[in-house]
Amino acid sequence: MADKKKRRRAASSSDSESDPLHFKSKLKPDSSILQTLTALKSASASSSSSRPASLSSLNLPTAFREVSDLPLSSVQSTIESLALSLAHSILAGHGFSFSVPSRASANQLYVPELDRIVLKDKSSSRPFASVASVRKTTITARILQLIHQLSLKNIHVTKRDLFYTDVKLFQDQSQSDSILDDVSCILGCTRSSLNVVASEKGVVVGRLIFSDNGDMIDCTKMGMGGKAIPPNIDRVADMQSDALFILLVEKDAAYMRLAEDRFYNRFPCIIVTAKGQPDVATRLFLRKMKNELKLPVLALVDSDPYGLKILSVYGCGSKNMSYDSANLTTPDIKWLGVRPSDLDKYKIPEQCRLPMTETDIKTGKDLLEEDFVKKNPGWVEELNLMVKSKQKAEIQALSSFGFQYLTEVYLPLKLQQKDWL
């Protein structure tokens, strides 16, 4: 009853105030928004022209393990010399063991100067003659052999392919996948240089032209679904674009909306999504775009701890792949939305907000302890607000004002107000 009264009073006092679409009237013509975007682009181009420092140049006290792209032949020869040493050890009656860099969280370090997570150089021994490690050791040997074959034949396979070559031994794809990461650590090369790729997950649409294995692709002419990001980054070359920024989207649904409304034609941009947690290919692709095209990256994620987590994976790398963070991370991603403060600012109705579960709140509080969040005071503030209000919302919450509210009002207004962190 009281609620109703309140609403009525609000309606009578200022009609425009209660109407969510009044935000539309605040919009300036597109040309002025484009001006701000151009300014953003040039600022970003000048800032990224200075090459970011590499790990070795920092002279940090601890040693780190980083991998690099290796040509196929050197992968092959590394495997071969490893196999020889294993064979010698077996023949000498010592059994064999691998020295595997530890990827546990205790061995990870966030380096603020680089703005990414790196792997320290602690490693553990994985002997064959121990019940605890015999299984992993055997799988490691088997994967090494399979990679060796790939390098001999110079072909690419997916992780799934790899798993199916010896299902009986691997039992579960997660096991072969995790050993694959171990193998790239052992060999000191990126996973893509092992010629093993994940299946396509990410998609891109918008003002981008690049060549995929020699074929020119125009991402404005790929239909609504966009172009699947090639799992093998080596195939991608010759990037050209007249976009002003890159829009990173967490969800497939929001991506669909943006693509169908041809948002990139109104504001020249490239729209990318990995449909949730990003895979290696999408991260590599984003990094390549950012480095070659010198565009600012704006992110549109859910207003929940996982949205921020996804943002952090693009920005600072995941713990699982920290050995390759140098190649996988895209620094300086701006958090455009949907931010906890937007919920009230854009008057997202109560029924579209969700209460955070206990695990959500815990994840949020854990994130507050993470270095990559702490370095950005704006993010800390937003996250504090989220944990305090105990409310989350998905990008789709904006659809409560109409399906196209996202593309027609919310994003343009955000861009106009330079409302990113």
Partner 1 sequence: MEVSGDSPAESNKSKSKSKTPRKPKDAQLLKQKSPAEFFADNKNIAGFDNPGKCLYTTVRELVENALDSAEAIAELPVIEITIEEIGRNKFNSMIGLANHERVDEALYDDFETDKAREKRLAKEARFQETQAKNAALGKKVKAPTAFKPTKSREASYYRVTCKDNGRGMPHDDIPNMFGRVLSGTKYGLKQTRGKFGLGAKMALIWSKMSTGLPIEIFSSMKGHTFSSFCRLDIDIHRNIPHIHVHEKRENHERWHGAEIQIVIEGNWTTYRSKILHYMRQMAVITPYAQFLFKFLSESPDKNMSVRFARRTDIMPPAPLETKYHPSAVDLLLIKRLIAETSKQNLLQFLQHEFVNVGKSHAERLIGEMGPDFSPKMAVKSLTSQQIVRIHQLFRQAKFDDPSGDCLSPAGEYNLRLGIIKELHPDMVATYSGSAQVFEGHPFIVEAGLSLGGKDVKQGLNVFRFANRIPLLFEQGADVVTRTAVKRINWSNYKINQAQDKIGVFVSIVSTKIPFKGTGKEYIGDDISEIASAVKTAIQQCCIQLKSKIVKRIQAREQQERKRSLNKYIPNATSAIYEILKEMSSSHALKRRRYEGKDAELLKQVSTQIVTEGTLREKLAQHVEQVDYEMALEYATQAGVNEEPREDIFIPPLEAEYECTELFSPIFVFRLVA
Interface with partner 1, residue 57, by CB under 8 A: no
- Pick between residue 21 and residue 84 the one whose CB is nearest to partner 1: 84
- Pick between residue 119 and residue 141 the one whose CB is nearest to partner 1: 141
CA distance 195 to 200: 15
Told to judge if 164 belongs to the known catalytic residues of this protein, a careful annotator would answer: yes
- Pick between residue 141 and residue 301 the one whose CB is nearest to partner 1: 141
Distance of CA 200 to the CA centre of its chain: 14
Question: Does 382 carry a binding-site annotation?
Answer: no
Q: What are phi and psi of 285, to 5 degrees?
A: -65, -45
Q: Are 68 and 124 in contact (CB under 8 A)?
A: no
**DSSP assignment of 133-173:** THHHHHHHHHHHHHHHHHHHHT--EEHHHHHHHTHHHH-SH
CA distance 141 to 355: 48
Interface with partner 1, residue 83, by CB under 8 A: yes
Kindly calculate the radius of gyration of the chain based on its CA atoms and give it in whole angstroms.
24
Residue from 120, 148, 345, 374 binding partner 1 (CB under 8 A): 148
- Pick between residue 46 and residue 171 the one whose CB is nearest to partner 1: 171
Count residues near partner 1 (CB under 8 A): 31
Nearest distance from C-beta of residue 154 to partner 1, angstroms:
14
Contact window for partner 1 (CB under 8 A) among 92-100, 229-237, 324-332, 389-397: 92-100
**DSSP assignment of 251-310:** -HHHHHHHHHTTHHHHS-EEEEE-SSS--HHHHHHHHHHHHHH---EEEE--BSHHHHHH
Interface with partner 1, residue 167, by CB under 8 A: no
For residue 240, give both structure tokens: 């050209």
Interface with partner 1, residue 235, by CB under 8 A: no
Residue from 27, 86, 209, 222 binding partner 1 (CB under 8 A): 86
Nearest distance from C-beta of residue 147 to partner 1, angstroms:
10
Interface with partner 1, residue 361, by CB under 8 A: no
Q: Are 375 and 407 in contact (CB under 8 A)?
A: no
- Which residues 126-145 are close enough to bind partner 1 by CB under 8 A? 128-131, 134-135, 137-138, 141-142, 144-145
Write the single-letter amino acid at 241.
S
CA distance 360 to 383: 12
- Which residues 283-302 are close enough to bind partner 1 by CB under 8 A? none
Positive or negative, the CA dihedral 70, 71, 75, 81 is negative
Interface with partner 1, residue 149, by CB under 8 A: yes
Interface with partner 1, residue 63, by CB under 8 A: no
Interface with partner 1, residue 349, by CB under 8 A: no
Question: Does 302 carry a binding-site annotation?
Answer: yes
Interface with partner 1, residue 91, by CB under 8 A: yes
CA distance 325 to 316: 7
- Pick between residue 195 and residue 407 the one whose CB is nearest to partner 1: 195
CA distance 386 to 198: 34
Q: Output the known binding site for Mg(2+).
A: 250, 302
Residues that bind partner 1 (CB under 8 A): 77, 79-81, 83-84, 86-88, 90-91, 93-96, 128-131, 134-135, 137-138, 141-142, 144-145, 148-149, 152, 169
Catalytic residues: 164
Q: Output the known binding site.
A: 250, 302
